[in-house]
Structure 1
Amino acid sequence: MLAMPAMAEPLRLAAAGSLRAALAEVSAAFETAPGGVAVAQSYAPSGLLRQRIAAGEAFDVFASANMEHPRAVERGQPTAAFARNRLCALARPGLEVTPEALLARMLDPALRLGTSTPGADPAGDYAFALFARAEAVQPGARAALEGKARLLTGGPDSARPPEGRDPYAWQFERDAADLFLTYCTNAVLARAADPRLQQVAVPPALEVAAEYGVVVLTPRPEAAGFVRFLLAPPGQEILARHGFAPPASP
């Protein structure tokens, strides 16, 4: 009997949690593309994934919600920017808030402001960068916002939602925050889980760009192929459907 050809090992992808829906679709498309293979996907906050990779956990590709974490674990291949995101605010049902009043509402001592965890999750770093921008709008705002922010997601010890529940809608369900700063793509998913939530745009004076980076970690041809697919029109079209913008021009 003829021996059956050996199946290629799955590609090991480590990716930011905010990419879960988009990269699950990218991975499915890559698996059926020429040269594609099955993709074993692991999602977690980018900073925690960087720590796991630095400690020796084996992955072929690392897709992060910032450029710094993949650059910290580069192994000869440079990090490529592949998408951009923006911050939005999620507000609990019934809370009166507009983009123009967002800073005042975040500063309101009576309102609880949630963010992700800086260092472990870039969404938290971007939120604190927004706080720094707020200082130019209202002196003293940075210290006040940093002092009141509740680091509710993205950390190694953050409370985890029940299986299958949206992590941001769940924060409101358990009454942990009145406002929550997160990626706009996350806000869309949270509102799909609970349409009563409000998505509030961040005003231009406070906007912070979120640049996503991807790096190849092993010499496997499939790893480089996955990144090419991600950067090519098929991958970019999938990312756009999930609310991501293309990377900034060099």
Structure 2
Amino acid sequence: MQTNTKVVRVISHAILKSVYYKALIFYIGLFLAFTGFAVIINVFPANALTLKIMAADALPKPVTEIGNIFKKEHPNVKIDYDFLGAGVLKGDIEEGAPCDIFLSANEKFQRQLKRKGFLNSYKIFAYNYLAAATPYNNPARVTKSNLIQKLMDANVTLATSSPHADPAGDYTWAMFRIINRRFPGAFKKITNHTNHLIDAAMIMPVLESGNADLGILYESQLLELKRSGAKINIIPIPEKYNTKAKFTASILNQSRYKTLDKDFIRLLFSKKGKKILKYWGFSPVR
């Protein structure tokens, strides 16, 4: 009986909504008839075009900010964002999820999608680097000078993104291999006591809860966290061990709004877009 009541309420709501819009259209028609103005009014905002943008979890701040500029230039367009690990997003695209623009944290996923016919080309729009972070009280006493030794210390709990699932994890594993060249056996020592998280966004809560002594994230993410008041210590990774992350943009072949997609990509590469990317800790392409 309760279910039937809910159904009646939903149907009643839909009818009232329909009557409301019909009345609204009637009065607007009268207004236009008396004033003589030829005005186009968007009575049904739900019918506005919607761009679907899937972007790596390191990109919410700059991409949303760029998206706000885009929406001012295209007031009839809405943007629906998905910010997750790029590997998860790639899998969603392969499984048929709707997507117009894909912003990945690497080239590999774009190449794989290109081989499968999901896109024709992609461009690098920004670079990023890795950095380390500890809880504010820094229980493992990690410093820039002892960072590499602490990474190899089995008593230090380390949190990273998962390789293959998230590019941040791939870049972190690449860094471990670079360290291994200088300190043979280091890769095994480090990875034996590493907690693999789905994506970099999960690392900060683990640090704050005290379940990890050390985390590896993008420099841009740590800058964002610091600005938001997060209680963390940022420890630079020596340049000789660090890896360069490449952030890439593509337009999916399934998109119905190629012209709008191109406008968004142009904005991403524009002076305004580059300024926003730089503010949030990325190195825009020149």
Identify the TM-score tier after normalising by the shorter chain: 0.7 to 0.9
Equivalent position of 1:179 in the other structure: 214
Equivalent position of 1:204 in the other structure: 239
**Deviation digits for residues 140-193 of structure 1 (CA, Å, limit 9, x no counterpart):** 1111112221112429xxxxxxxxxx7443112222210001101111233345
The 5 Å alignment of 1:80-95 reads 80-95=123-138
Q: CA separation of 1:243/1:137 partners in 2, compared to 1, >3 Å: closer, same or farther?
A: same
Tell me how far apart the structure 1 counterparts of residues 63 and 48 of structure 2 sit (CA, whole Å): 20
Provide TM-score, normalisation by structure 1.
0.87
State whether structure 2 residue 58 is matched by structure 1 residue 15: no
Equivalent position of 1:189 in the other structure: 224
State whether structure 2 residue 152 is matched by structure 1 residue 107: yes
Tell me how far apart the structure 1 counterparts of residues 183 and 149 of structure 2 sit (CA, whole Å): 10
Amino acid at match of 1:150: N
State whether structure 2 residue 267 is matched by structure 1 residue 232: no
Given that 1:137 and 1:205 are in contact with CA atoms closer than 8 Å, whether structure 2 keeps it comes out as no
Amino acid at match of 1:66: N
- After superposing on structure 2, the runs of 4+ consecutive aligned residues of structure 1 that deviate more than 6 Å are none
State whether structure 2 residue 281 is matched by structure 1 residue 243: yes
Match of 1:130 among 175, 200, 209: 175
Amino acid at match of 1:80: K
Deviation at 1:219, TM superposition (A): 5.0
- Gaps of at least 5 residues in structure 2 are 1-28, 30-37
Larger radius of gyration: 2
SS in 2 for 1:189: helix
Deviation at 1:123, TM superposition (A): 0.7
SS in 2 for 1:38: strand
Amino acid at match of 1:89: A
**Deviation digits for residues 28-70 of structure 1 (CA, Å, limit 9, x no counterpart):** 0111126883211111100000000011101100001111112
State whether structure 2 residue 103 is matched by structure 1 residue 63: yes
State whether structure 2 residue 79 is matched by structure 1 residue 54: no
Amino acid at match of 1:92: P
Q: CA separation of 1:206/1:37 partners in 2, compared to 1, >3 Å: closer, same or farther?
A: same
Match of 1:31 among 53, 71, 74: 71
Q: CA separation of 1:102/1:93 partners in 2, compared to 1, >3 Å: closer, same or farther?
A: same
Amino acid at match of 1:94: N
Given that 2:134 and 2:232 are in contact with CA atoms closer than 8 Å, whether structure 1 keeps it comes out as yes
Task: Tell me how large the CA RMSD over aligned residues is.
Answer: 2.1
Q: CA separation of 1:12/1:101 partners in 2, compared to 1, >3 Å: closer, same or farther?
A: same
Q: CA separation of 1:226/1:50 partners in 2, compared to 1, >3 Å: closer, same or farther?
A: same
Task: Calculate percent identity across the aligned residue pairs.
Answer: 26
SS in 2 for 1:58: coil
Amino acid at match of 2:181: A
Given that 1:47 and 1:69 are in contact with CA atoms closer than 8 Å, whether structure 2 keeps it comes out as yes
State whether structure 2 residue 112 is matched by structure 1 residue 72: yes
Q: CA separation of 1:141/1:227 partners in 2, compared to 1, >3 Å: closer, same or farther?
A: same
Amino acid at match of 1:23: V
Tell me how far apart the structure 2 counterparts of residues 17 and 176 of structure 1 sit (CA, whole Å): 21
Query: 14-23 vs 188-197, which deviates more?
Result: 188-197
Equivalent position of 2:164 in the other structure: 119
Provide TM-score, normalisation by structure 2.
0.77
Amino acid at match of 2:146: A
Bigger relative CO (Cα 8 Å, ≥ 6 apart): 1
Given that 1:169 and 1:193 are in contact with CA atoms closer than 8 Å, whether structure 2 keeps it comes out as no
- Gaps of at least 5 residues in structure 1 are 156-165
